[in-house]
Amino acid sequence: MHATKNRQLPLAIATSIALALASANAFAQSNETQLLNRLEQLAGELEKVKAELKQMKQKQDATPVLIAQAAAPVSASSRLGEGTQLTAYGEINYSRPRRDSSATQADVARFVTGFQHSFNEKTKVVAELEVEHAVKSSSDNGEVAVEQVFVEHRFNDSFGARAGLFLIPLGLINQNHEPHTFYSVNRPTVETAIIPSTLREAGVQLFGEQDNGISWSTGITTGFDLSKWDPLKVEGVESPLRTLHQEGQLARSKDLSFFGALDWRGIPGLRVGAGFTTGKAGHGTKGFLAPNARTTLADVHVQWTPGAWDFAAVYARGTISGAGALNASFSGAPYLVPKSFDGYYAQAAYKIPLSGDYRLSPFTRIERINTGRSFDGVVAGQNVTAYDTETIWTTGVSFNIAPTVVLKADYQKYKIVKDSDRINLGLGFSF
Amino acid sequence: MKSALTWLPTAAIVIVSPVYAGQYATVDEAAKRAFPDATEFKESVFQLSADEVRNVATVTGLPAKPVLWRSLLAMNGDKPLGVVVLDSVIGKFELIDYAVGIAYDGKIRNVEILAYRESHGYEVRLPAWRKQFFGKDKSSRLRVSEDIASISGATMSATHITDGVRRIVAVVDQMKAAGKF
């Protein structure tokens, strides 16, 4: 039965094929034009499906590229991983005094590297480690320092807190001091001699920002230590507070300082602000002759950038009160603690865009500065009077070869200490 | 299938966006501020061809960026009012998420900061600074220290957002020329 069925199958298939062919042939003969149209339609639909498949593949291929680029847009910093960025800046300078070429020197003025890491959407740590003058050893003049290390926590969009070692918000340079943020090879003298940038102390602060353009910060930090004053060292004349700040180095903390700062940027291109820090500086030192001495540093600043112009001005004033008895004890020593010291500068720059990222910025700046405007406790025989006010003109150009890479050249002219007249060249970068 | 193709890259963009941020305006808020008359916002992804990417780079003087741009098409019934394009740029150290609303005539309707992560330089959020962009179009310079004022203490953030806006204006112009918008 099974064999019979098998023998009949080829015959059935052949019969079916023959019938089908005959049927198809008859159909084709009667509907040939319609069939061709249908085939062309199917071929068109097939091409469409193939195109869609190709498009899908292209999009899938493009997506990883997009992800990579979205995760790393044109970057000012180097991203180490989710939430972590490497940061750095450096300044390499050359200085040639006009009247004493033997004092010409080149210096890796500072190299700073650090990182920022976000722990979550509200909390981050910011840290910077600085090396000044290239080498620090027992026989070199360099310095290694933690420039900043603080934790920041935001309570909401416009209010937060920081704790750790942070920059005190004074002037225009102290918080924004990377080399591309100022035009001259060296930072303005007012913001190094009166405001000893980068001035940082350890403490806690609250800060806020409002939509009306007001930003503010206030906090408590370690302060200055007047017991560090050395009446035999000229550093106190160059910058009275630079020898007294503590910078988180085993900082004496019996007396703390209080600071506040306010800025307004309600009009595009305009910034007006002021800041201060004040605190006692005796720290209960046994036998110290200025136990109630108070150190105060304050500033007002304005920056206006209409179009390609950049105008800036800063006035800073410091006082050290209660140091009269201490000064009186420095018999025969040349450098007393000033009761007041101050300085201002006014600066104009014009940014000329060239091709690509190239930009040339000629600038000029006048500074008037006095690091010893008055003294308390001067006794007969000390022969210390108020210092003369120095006037410094700085004129030059800043040439950006990238937004944050800059070549600088300027000439500084001093009205009183003419031996300080000099040509400066500099290279700076930051990311 | 077409729907899936549209949403795949959109989802990818959302997924890769870092979350460390204060949220200053939502995407919906940014879109409604740009086009208060819109009755509907359609999510879309602009896809640039290689030639269009090159055109954008040439016109803006900026490096080429992604070929895909997440956007919302603002509609009033069947009438297109404009588009809101979403993007991120680096400020000084961190990513800034922002949205740019551009009307059908090519003029900027608004620039909204969606998320800002820097410790300083929040001033790019200020309404007064962002208003400088309003009404500008592809014929504008859209460059810091030219027709857009810089921000003291936030130069990098201001520059990078301004560059980003200039790029988006060029992208939308390319899309419009290609009839994709």
DSSP string, A35-76: HHHHHHHHHHHHHHHHHHHHHHHHHHHHHHHHHHHHHS-S-S
pLDDT at A56: 57
What separation in angstroms does the CA of A404 have from each of A357, A399, A420, B93? 10, 10, 29, 13
A48, A40 in Cβ contact below 8 A? Answer: no
Whether A249 contacts chain B with CB within 8 A = no
Residue A280 has pLDDT above 60, yes or no: yes
pLDDT at A28: 46
Structure tokens at A296: 């105060």
Structure tokens at A123: 């909390």
pLDDT at A68: 33
Stretch B111-117: mean pLDDT: 91
Give the gap in angstroms from C-alpha A251 to the nearest C-alpha of chain B: 25
Whether A307 contacts chain B with CB within 8 A = yes
**Among all chains, which residue has been given the structure tokens 């209960």?**
A284
pLDDT at A331: 84
Residue A23 is inside which H or E element, if any? helix A2-71
Q: Which residues contact A116 (CB under 8 A, 6 or more apart)?
A: A77, A84, A85, A87, A124, A125, A126, A127, B93, B94, B119
Give the burial class of B164: count Cβ atoms within 10 A of its Cβ; 0-12 exposed, 13-18 middle, 19 or more buried.
Answer: buried
Pairwise CB contact (< 8 Å): A215 & B117 = no
Give the gap in angstroms from C-alpha B162 to the nearest C-alpha of chain A: 13
Q: Which residues contact B158 (CB under 8 A, 6 or more apart)?
A: B121, B123, B124, B129, B144, B148, B150, B151
Q: Which A positions 189-228 lie with beta carbon below 8 A of chain B? A: 209, 211, 213, 215
Residue A7 has pLDDT above 70, yes or no: no
**Among all chains, which residue has been given the structure tokens 């910078």?**
A247
Tally Cβ neighbours within 10 Å of residue A143. 12
Pairwise CB contact (< 8 Å): A59 & B8 = yes
Give the percent of chain B with pLDDT over 90.
60
Q: In terms of pLDDT, which residue wins out, B22 or A132?
A: A132
Whether B67 contacts chain A with CB within 8 A = yes
Q: Which residues contact B165 (CB under 8 A, 6 or more apart)?
A: B100, B108, B111, B133, B142
User: Which residues in chain B have their CB less than 8 angstroms from residue A116's CB?
Assistant: 93-94, 119
The predicted-structure confidence for A129-147, as pLDDT tens digits, reads as follows 999 999 998 888 899 999 9
ipTM tops 0.95: no
pLDDT at A230: 94
pLDDT at B123: 86
Which residue, among A323, A358, A325, A359, has the nearest Cα to A340 in the 3D structure?
A323
Whether A152 contacts chain B with CB within 8 A = yes
Stretch B164-170: mean pLDDT: 96
Q: How confident is the model at residue A101 (pLDDT cuts 50, 70, 90)?
A: very high
Whether A353 contacts chain B with CB within 8 A = yes
CA dihedral A250→A254→A258→A259, nearest 10 degrees, is -10
Pairwise CB contact (< 8 Å): B20 & A62 = no
Structure tokens at A335: 């450098």
Stretch A18-25: mean pLDDT: 47
pLDDT at B11: 41
- CA A268, A269, A272: angle at the middle one, nearest 5? 100
- Residue among B88, B119, B171 with most chain A CBs within 10 A, to mutate: B119
Q: Which B positions 100-129 lie with beta carbon below 8 A of chain A? A: 117, 119-120, 122-123, 125-129
**CA–CA gap between residue A242 and residue A197 (Å, rounded):** 9
**CA–CA gap between residue B100 and residue B87 (Å, rounded):** 8
Using CB atoms, which residue from A59, A116, A403 is nearest to B5?
Answer: A59
**CA–CA gap between residue B143 and residue B148 (Å, rounded):** 6
Q: In terms of pLDDT, which residue wins out, A209 or A23?
A: A209
The predicted-structure confidence for A60-85, as pLDDT tens digits, reads as follows 444 333 333 333 344 455 666 678 99
Annotated domain spans of chain A: 1-60, 62-430
Taken in order A279, A285, A287, A288, the sign of the CA dihedral is negative
DSSP A196-217: -SS-EEEEEEEEEE-TTSEEEE
Whether A284 contacts chain B with CB within 8 A = no
Pairwise CB contact (< 8 Å): A265 & B91 = no
Amino acid A341 reads: F
User: Which residues in chain B have their CB less than 8 angstroms from residue A268's CB?
Assistant: 128-129, 131-132, 148-149, 151
Q: In terms of pLDDT, which residue wins out, A271 or A47?
A: A271
B126, A265 in Cβ contact below 8 A? Answer: yes
Whether A81 contacts chain B with CB within 8 A = no
- Residue among B7, B145, B148, B167 with most chain A CBs within 10 A, to mutate: B145
Give the gap in angstroms from C-alpha B181 to the nearest C-alpha of chain A: 19
User: Which residues in chain B have their CB less than 8 angstroms from residue A50's CB?
Assistant: none
Pairwise CB contact (< 8 Å): A116 & B93 = yes
Radius of gyration of chain B (CA): 15
Annotated domain spans of chain B: 22-177
Q: List the B22-23 sheet strands across, edge first.
A: B22-23, B108-116, B95-103, B79-90, B68-76, B40-47
Q: How confident is the model at residue A327 (pLDDT cuts 50, 70, 90)?
A: very high
Q: Which residues contact A295 (CB under 8 A, 6 or more apart)?
A: A223, A224, A226, A241, A244, A257, A278, A279, A280, A281, A318, A319, A320
The predicted-structure confidence for A27-62, as pLDDT tens digits, reads as follows 444 555 565 566 566 666 666 666 666 665 554 444
The predicted-structure confidence for B127-136, as pLDDT tens digits, reads as follows 999 999 999 9
Which residues pair with residue A301 across a beta bridge?
A273, A314
**CA–CA gap between residue B80 and residue A416 (Å, rounded):** 70
Residue A8 has pLDDT above 70, yes or no: no
Residue B9 has pLDDT above 60, yes or no: no
Give the gap in angstroms from C-alpha A70 to the nearest C-alpha of chain B: 7
pLDDT at A38: 64
**Among all chains, which residue has been given the structure tokens 């002021």?**
A274
What homologous superfamily does CATH list for A62-430?
Answer: Porin (2.40.160.10)
**CA–CA gap between residue A133 and residue A110 (Å, rounded):** 6
Cis preceding-peptide flag for A198 (omega within 30 of 0): yes
Whether A82 contacts chain B with CB within 8 A = yes
pLDDT at A139: 86
Using CB atoms, which residue from A76, A265, A307 is nearest to B145?
Answer: A307
What's the maximum distance between 2 C-alpha atoms anywhere in chain A? 143
**CA–CA gap between residue B83 and residue A379 (Å, rounded):** 77
pLDDT at A75: 46
Q: Which B positions 80-99 lie with beta carbon below 8 A of chain A? A: 88-95
User: Which residues in chain A have their CB less than 8 angstroms from residue B130's CB?
Assistant: none
Residue B53 has pLDDT above 60, yes or no: yes
Pairwise CB contact (< 8 Å): B13 & A70 = yes
Pairwise CB contact (< 8 Å): A157 & B89 = no
**CA–CA gap between residue A295 and residue A319 (Å, rounded):** 6
Q: In terms of pLDDT, which residue wins out, A131 or A381?
A: A131
Whether A398 contacts chain B with CB within 8 A = no
Whether B6 contacts chain A with CB within 8 A = no
User: Which residues in chain A have their CB less than 8 angstroms from residue B2's CB?
Assistant: 52
A111: phi then psi, degrees, rounded to nearest 5: -130, 125
